[in-house]
Amino acid sequence: MTDTEATPTRAAWALQAPMLTEYYDTEWGMPVRDERGVFERLTLEAFQSGLSWLTILRKRENFRAAFDDFDVAAIAAYSDADVARLLSDKGIIRNRAKIAATIANAQAMLALHESGETLSDLVWSHMPARSPAPERDDEVPATSPESEALAKALKKRGFRFVGPTTMYALMSAIGVVDVHLVSSHRRGCSGLWNIDGTPVGPATMV
């Protein structure tokens, strides 16, 4: 067994708790393209703003239960009573602005569908021509021209809590970019990016 196999290289944040390590090793950076999956992750990234990702992971199942398993049509129809219910739910982040944003985002997503667009296609259309190839944690970008463009496109369509940093976190989480360290055992795990940051092939581009 090599040293790399004995001690896999991970991002520093993934070493802070076993739940983060498991998330890093099994989910982070893997492609997500289904509408509900993308909406869930957009919502969780918005709730994470100003908080730790570990806090969100620990409450993830509670979020799913509270928000009807991220059924967009159900959330879009939430009433004041639903908002009150969510604000009293100790299992989630009880932030009125973020709850209101989630409802508004569900409504914006339905409007996208009515115009013939999908959230997944919109997000994936901002896949860059080349992904970063960080060698150290401090080389991992916080934003990109593509995340700035995505944030602008989503805000134009009525989405909230979708700033460039939050959108870059989303893009990293669902494989639109690969920001695993080049030495990580998870580098290239999505099958979309080579270790050097070049795309695997033209078929991966949306």
What is the helix (H) or strand (E) element at residue 57, kind and residue range? helix 53-58
* C-alpha distances out from residue 91 to 5, 59, 67, 155, Å: 38, 6, 11, 28
Query: Is 24 tagged catalytic?
Result: no
> Which amino acid is located at 132 in the chain?
P
Query: Active site residue: 24, 28, 40, 53, which one?
Result: 53
Query: 24, 28, 45, 124: which one is catalytic?
Result: 45
193 is catalytic: no
Are the beta carbons of 81 and 89 closer than 8 angstroms? no
Which residue in the list 23, 24, 28, 78 is annotated as catalytic?
A: 23
Rounded Cα distance between 195 and 178, Å, is 9
CA 41/CA 74 separation, integer angstroms: 17
Q: Could you give the dihedral angle defined by the CA atoms of residues 16, 37, 128 and 166, in that order, rounded to the nearest 10 degrees?
A: -50
List active site positions. Answer: 23, 45, 53
